[in-house]
Amino acid sequence: MIKKSAVEIIALPAFTDNYIWVLRHAGQVAVVDPGDATPVREYLAQTGERLCAVLVTHYHPDHIGGIAEIIAHHPVPVYGPASENIAEVSHSLRGGEHIQLPEIDCEFDVITLPGHTLGHIAYYGSDIGEAGAVFCGDTLFAAGCGRLFEGTPAQMYDSLNKLAVLPAPTFVYCTHEYTQANLRFALAVEPDNPAIQQRCKDVAAIRAAGRFTVPTRIDLELETNPFLRSDAPAVRAAAAARLGYSPRDAVETFTAIREWKNHF
């Protein structure tokens, strides 16, 4: 039997729609993408738990802005992308590495995800929880994907496919509460998709109750996320309507849908 990690994962809201993920076990914690130091420092002060590591997916300020203050008070290793300019990173990662955080009973495979930024990475733990977990920053969102600030559509398409082939029940820990807006777009792309229709209702109820809509799951994204559905006939048809011709392949479909979302 494969040993499952005993880590617990909780969210610290930050700014208007960010989440800082806290992985906790036996009085120790690691945090993912702490753009704001205050929620993390307040959490540590309230719980008395000890910080053991910081994990970073990419260099945007709302993901790294709190690191300097956090490690000034809690000196710990900082893991992050080697090709991005993040001064606080002490353990540079290029993808393909396997890292272990024994303090919180976790280990991760590092996945390169160029697109949102060129150096973007994710942390995948196959033994976390009952189904595994991936911390993917701003690459894959619930019902959406990140903007292409640096990479090409082909790069982002390939990066999303790296996540799409993870085991279907894998929990996806993205870092923004964008789900309702993303689902409005998904419904515009596939208005007759019953899974999207149902998810819109479910998410509306979740938000009305003041709860978070993430993490999501890979299997749910495969059913309802247009950016993972470039081969679906309805998505290809939606792309063709935007382009004025039938897209040549899945990358061109993805490109048309992503451009549509930019102006939606």
Q: Is 176 annotated as a binding residue?
A: yes
* Helical residues (DSSP H) of the chain, grouped into ranges: 37-47, 61-64, 67-73, 153-164, 179-189, 194-208, 218-224, 233-243, 250-262
Provide the residue type at 260 as one letter.
W
Please tell me the distance from the alpha carbon of residue 164 to that of residue 158, in angstroms, as a whole number.
10
Angle (CA) 14 19 25, round 5°: 115
Q: Determine if residue 25 is labeled as part of a ligand binding site.
A: no
Ligand-binding annotation for 73, yes or no, is: no
What whole-number distance in Å separates Cα of residue 43 and Cα of residue 12? 8
CA distances from 204 to 107, 183, 191, 223 (A): 34, 10, 17, 18
For residue 20, give the nearest of 1, 4, 43, 3 by alpha carbon: 43
Q: Which residues are annotated as catalytic?
A: 58, 60, 62-63, 116, 138, 176
Helix or strand holding residue 81 (H, E):
strand 78-81
Token duo for residue 130: 């009952």
SS3 62: helix
Bridge partners, residue 7, by sequence: none
Tell me: is residue 60 an annotated ligand-binding position: yes
Q: Is the dihedral of CA 244, 250, 255, 261 positive or negative?
A: positive
Is 263 annotated in a binding site? The answer is: no
Query: Which segments are annotated as binding site for Zn(2+)?
Result: 58, 60, 62-63, 116, 138, 176
Residues annotated within the binding site are: 58, 60, 62-63, 116, 138, 176
